[in-house]
Amino acid sequence: MYNTEILSPSPEALEKASGLLKSGQLVAFPTETVYGLGANALNRDAVLSIFAAKDRPADNPLIVHIWSVDQLEGICEVPEKAWPLMERFWPGPLTILMPRKETIPMEVTAGLDTVAIRMPSHPAAKALLKACGLPIAAPSANRSGKPSPTTAGYVYQDMQGRIPLILDGGPCQVGLESTVLDLTGTPTILRPGGITPEDLAAILGPVQVAGSVLRPLMKGEVARSPGMRYRHYAPKGQVTLVNGDEAQVVAALRKLYLQSEADGLKACVMCFSEHMEALRDCCPHDIGSKENPASTAHLLFDTLRKLDDEDMDAIYSEVVPAEGIGLAIMNRLGRAASFRTIEADSL
Ligand code: AMP
Ligand code: MG
């Protein structure tokens, strides 16, 4: 058991964090996407302790974080197509799968021959990576099955006693995890995230999106990104998505909320800022402006965490179009809801 410290990323705290990483310990740190739980990616035992702290299944590989492209040489082969992407989107929320070199332990890649690599843009993440000089394996700093943490407080909720140090860089700007891109064949988005398909297509030409992004895996279907097998981002309550015309959706949310309350359930709605007033008697939770999907991305995990803390049984949510950052939002919302969707005009 650790007495988990939370420190803002001062030069002294960064030095302490860097020392912990070098000695094989875990440190949680902010990135622009969500908080990461870092360990020296070259140290097998340190990597194994990430899986233990998170209760993460061993077959779900980790993302390795770097601060300089000079570090690539020691850890992977770089596909030709990756260079213009790194040039354009690094540092930033894009993870690229690259053929692994032997230096990266199998535990990091869960036995796969590719390693997922990203260069974060958050100043504290950059400073930490530079200070320790190591490639850092870092999945999201939540316990497995919980929404990814977007504040140091949420990391503490999940990791208290399990790790020595959390660096607190305030709330994460993007709020959803990075885009995971496979370049081994036709470029394919395995997990949508902060960099959109449209952003990538502008550099790469046509980009595919893995089939299981907006639906459950089919029986016998192999997940190209192992993380997609798990029911991540799942709050304790039952989430239902409500689709349709704006006015009908607002009416449907009210109806569903009232029905659940009448059934003795603790219910709430997740709605756009524009509908907070109209749904004020339906325990509304703000998921940002309809006009600004980035605000919804920013608030989504925070809202799902709050609903867990409030022990909600039934959660009814509005949806966004699955384009741009909306694809990543609908992937996370869809999975939180086990893809359970109601058409507003069917009620
Ligand atoms: P997290 O660390 O929580 O952001 O999760 C990392 C995500 O990247 C998971 O969905 C993993 O399955 C995926 N990932 C990491 N490495 C690979 C890889 N080599 N091939 C495919 N997916 C990967
Ligand atoms: Mg995660």
Task: Name the pLDDT band for 222 (thresholds 50, 70, 90).
Answer: confident
pLDDT(123) > 90: yes
Per-residue b/e over 115-138, b at no fewer than 16 CB within 10 Å? bbbbbbbbebbbbbbebbebbbbb
What's the pLDDT at 233?
A: 66
What's the pLDDT at 33?
A: 98
User: Relative to the alpha carbon of 50, which ligand is closest?
Assistant: 1
What's the pLDDT at 74?
A: 96
Task: Name the pLDDT band for 232 (thresholds 50, 70, 90).
Answer: low
Q: What is the mean pLDDT of residues 92-113?
A: 97
What's the pLDDT at 231?
A: 59
As assigned by CATH, the class of the 238-346 domain is: alpha beta
331 Cβ below 6 A of ligand 1: no
* CA 139 to centroid of ligand 2, rounded, Å: 6
Please report, rounded to a whole number, the percentage of residues in the chain having pLDDT higher than 70.
Answer: 98
* CA 218 to centroid of ligand 1, rounded, Å: 19
* CA 262 to centroid of ligand 2, rounded, Å: 36
Q: What is the mean pLDDT of residues 158-162?
A: 98
Q: What is the mean pLDDT of residues 78-103?
A: 98
User: Relative to the alpha carbon of 99, which ligand is closest?
Assistant: 1
pLDDT(317) > 80: yes
Atom of ligand 1 nearest to the CA of 139: 2
What's the pLDDT at 228?
A: 66
116 Cβ below 6 A of ligand 1: yes
| pLDDT tens, position by position, 233-274 | 678 899 999 999 999 999 999 999 999 999 999 999 999 999
106 Cβ below 6 A of ligand 1: no
What's the pLDDT at 184?
A: 85
pLDDT(229) > 70: no
180 Cβ below 6 A of ligand 1: yes
Q: Indicate the domain borders of the chain.
A: 5-214, 238-346
| pLDDT tens, position by position, 184-200 | 889 999 999 999 999 99
CATH superfamily of 5-214: DHBP synthase (3.90.870.10)
Contact 61, 110 (CB under 8 A): yes
Q: What is the mean pLDDT of residues 310-332?
A: 97
pLDDT(315) > 80: yes
User: Relative to the alpha carbon of 37, which ligand is closest?
Assistant: 1
What's the pLDDT at 155?
A: 98
76 Cβ below 6 A of ligand 1: no
What's the pLDDT at 91?
A: 98
How many CA atoms within 13 Å lie on the side-chain side of 343? 2
Higher local confidence (pLDDT), 230 or 61: 61
Atom of ligand 1 nearest to the CA of 142: 3
114 Cβ below 6 A of ligand 1: yes
What's the pLDDT at 326?
A: 97
pLDDT(214) > 90: no
Pick the residue whose CA is nearest to atom 12 on ligand 1: 227
pLDDT(217) > 90: no
Contact 34, 176 (CB under 8 A): yes
Single pTM value for the model? 0.95
* CA 124 to centroid of ligand 1, rounded, Å: 22
* CA 272 to centroid of ligand 2, rounded, Å: 25
pLDDT(309) > 90: yes
Sequence letter at residue 318 = E
User: Relative to the alpha carbon of 226, which ligand is closest?
Assistant: 1
60 Cβ below 6 A of ligand 1: yes
* CA 245 to centroid of ligand 2, rounded, Å: 33
* CA 47 to centroid of ligand 1, rounded, Å: 14
pLDDT(221) > 80: no
Rounded to 5°, angle at Cα 308 from 163 and 173: 65
CA 34 – CA 14 distance, rounded (Å)? 18
Q: What is the mean pLDDT of residues 139-152?
A: 95
What's the pLDDT at 224?
A: 73
Rounded to 5°, angle at Cα 33 from 202 and 316: 95
